[in-house]
Amino acid sequence: MMRQYELVEKVAAYDPNVNEELLNRAYVFSMRAHGSQTRASGDPYFSHPLEVAGILTDYKLDCATIVTALLHDTVEDTVATHAQIEDGFGPQIARLVDGVTKLSKLELRSEASSQAENFRKLVLAMSDDIRVLLVKLADRLHNMRTIRHLQAGKRTRIAAETMDIYAPLAERIGMHRIKEELEDLSFAELHPDARASVQKRLDFLRAAAGDVVPRITEELRRTVTDGGLAATVSGREKKPYSIWRKMQRDNVSFEQLSDIVAFRVIVDDVADCYQALGIVHGQYSMVPDRFKDYISTPKRNNYRSIHTTVIGPENQRIEIQIRTHEMHDIAELGVAAHWRYKQDLAASDGSEYRWLQGLREILEHEGTAEEFLEHTKLEMFQDQVFCFTPKGDVIALPRGATPVDFAYAVHSEVGDTCVGARVNGRVMPLRTRLTNGDQVDILRSNAGTPDPAWENIVVTGKARSAIRRFIRHQARDEYRQLGEAIADKAFRQAGHEFSEKAIDGALKVLKAKSAADVYVALGDGHLTSKELMSRIFPGEQRRWGARDAIGAINQLLPSRLRRHGGGRDLNNAVPISGLIPGMAVHYATCCHPLPGDRIVGIITKGKGVMIHTIDCEQLESHSDTPEQWLDVKWEIDPDNPGLHVGQISTVVANAPGSLSNLSTVIAKNMGNISNLRITNRSPDFFEMKVDIEVADVKHLANIMAALRATPSVSSVERDRG
């Protein structure tokens, strides 16, 4: 275990102005606070914060960060308080310690929720000061180094969390060495056999190759030097996890990998980088499609380097990375390199990391910790493409991103008002996948709003979070309107005049903060009208019971579902507005209701109202819950009827032109095919299901009649799912 004076000397070696008295006080405070506590290994607990501090001294971090490392577990695991930390070490260190304190006292539903909530708080803290993340990463690294002392199940959970969250975070801030070690330690825990296999192949390759790496390194150095440049050349072997991941991702064997060892050429300045590239390409044959210039277009974590693959010395296919000394330090040390080049790590608070600010924005608006964690993973895990605004600004996006992702990356308001996009001067569908170098011009409208269907085409967490946020708010408004109508109806059926005051008086019993919350609960099915009335009027029997409710829907049900009961006036239908898929009101896919069909609404817990046709077979499963039934009707604007999806099943001759005839007939009758699925085929016929956008039942019937008159169409029936 490192002694007190050794820690002070390590910091003083790179920071002559270190506050030795502060370091000494922190050392003593932490040692006394942890006292006789021990770790799972049996070692004194104080050895852990001391090792965390030691890891951070290797990155030459400032005194405040080292002190935070010494103190980071005192508030959580000892009797020390936040006030004591602030009184003894100042508000800055108290804030940093608070940022990395584990949240073990949170009362959460599950371990997954705990992980998500912990990560949410971590992002909030590190977005204020990136040093919080540096201490947390060092904390996790030491825990992974000593993970063998824990029980097997706990080891697996911690290793998975490390691989999912902490290694990608280390990569995002450029802490390459920590990222590699975290990945490899997790890999050894999660896939021990795979790691052992890769390591065995590496050992064999190393023994068979002998001194080939030193020979290639020396020839590269001599080649660059003969070209007139002073350069440092080295070779570095990839870690087992990095090799295994590439084998998995690219579906290649171990023998097919060309970059198990990467050679680095380090020069003095940017101009020398491009001169070195010219020398290397002039001497060796370049492998096509294996060149990347991260100097002109840096990665999101500020990584800068030139990568090229050549058929190099001894006819070996090798990867060469060319960078300056400063680029190399940033590649290895990430944000910690600011200490060396800017002497102001505190100023590097994350503002230069746009991805971190994006996480902060998602955090501030996201609904649950689990959704935040999901969207954050989307932000961190994917490869990049670089696209340009019309002004030439570079926007880095994950591979597979669309113009909608681009719009939200520019600004949330741009995404919310996006109605179209020009890609390289051409108007393109919003589902278009962007590629490197695309210039994207977002078309906007003040009346534009996010389309719920966008959630299926975006890949960035920021875009998905914003779309879900809009859906959530829109759905709440619709749930509230629907719930208020349900409450009004329930009051009248019980013989009372509807009064929001009555609901306000029962908020405590209903466990709601406002009448609006009660309406939302009614609208989305978490609260039934029967429950509402029994809690508002607990001493009064309802004036109509389940038998009367069944009678109320009796006229609507097909004969196979009818039961005995009284009748009721059905003229007071609850109005349904804003029938937007994915929001408060949904069309059932089991029966595909269309305007003109007789319909019924079923309140479904957590989903709002599901609209079914009155003869839908699925209604039988709801016959015992009459309080969930709503008599609804279409409210279609005749001037703007909108489009609805009807589904048909058809049998078409297996002959040239049959599909063309089918689509032509549908188009001539003003229908639009939104989906087509072939369900069976034979030498003579195709059986298929076709989804057609139509105005109403009559429109669909006209299309079906026209298809039946087509010689190549054998039969057409409306499909019920």
Composition of the chain by helix, strand, coil, percent to 5: 50, 15, 35
Q: Say whether 195 sits in a helix, a strand or coil.
A: helix
Q: How many CB atoms lie within 10 A of CB 710?
A: 17
Cα 167 to Cα 136: distance, rounded to the nearest angstrom: 11
Cα–Cα distance for residue pair 4/346, rounded to 1 Å: 25
Q: How far apart are alpha carbons 53 and 63 in whole angstroms?
A: 10
Say how many C-beta atoms besides its own lie within 10 A of residue 522's C-beta.
24
- Beta strands 285-286 and 306-311: pairing type? antiparallel
111 given a catalytic annotation: no
463: left (phi over 0), alpha (psi -120 to 50) or beta: alpha
Smallest CA-to-CA distance from 354 within 397, 300, 407, 284 is with 300
Neighbours of 295 (CB within 10 A): 18
Instruction: State the amino acid at position 187 in one-letter form.
Output: F
- Report which of 144, 63, 145, 57 is spatially closest to residue 96, judged by C-alpha positions: 63
CB 231 within 8 A of CB 224: yes
Long-range CB pairs of 707-710 (<8 Å, 24+ gap) are 707/648, 707/650, 707/662, 707/665, 707/666, 710/661, 710/662, 710/665
Q: CB atoms < 10 A from the CB of 395, how many?
A: 19
Catalytic one of 9, 43, 77, 293:
77
- Residue 332, SS3? helix
Q: Which residues have C-beta within 8 Å of that of residue 527, sequence separation ≥ 6?
A: 510, 518, 521
Residue 69 φ/ψ region, left for φ over 0, alpha for ψ in the -120 to 50 degree band, beta for the rest: alpha
Per-residue CA distances from 707 to 591, 682, 683, 713 (Å):
21, 20, 21, 6
Question: Considering 43, 76, 617, 627, which one is annotated as catalytic?
Answer: 76
Find all residues with CB under 8 Å of 308, minimum gap 6, and list them: 277, 280, 281, 286, 287, 290, 291, 292, 319, 320, 322
* Tokens, residue 547: 């038998």
- CA 313, CA 218: separation in Å to the nearest integer? 10
- Alpha-carbon span 9 to 20, nearest angstrom: 9
Look at phi and psi of residue 705 and say left if phi exceeds 0, alpha if psi is from -120 to 50, else beta.
Answer: alpha
Q: What are phi and psi of 654, to 5 degrees?
A: -85, 80
CA distance 520 to 501: 17
Q: What are 690's two structure tokens? A: 């076709």
Q: Give the residues across from 389 on adjacent strands.
A: none
**Is 76 known to be catalytic?**
yes
* C-alpha span between 1 and 5 (Å, rounded): 12
Q: Dump strand ranges (E) for 13-99.
A: none
* Residues in a beta bridge with 337: none
Question: Residue 502 in contact with residue 397, Cβ under 8 Å?
Answer: no
Other CB atoms within a 10 A radius of the CB of residue 468 amount to: 20
- Would you mind telling me the total number of residues written for the chain in this entry? 721
What is the widest separation between alpha-carbon atoms in the chain?
101
What amino acid positions are annotated as catalytic residues? 76-77
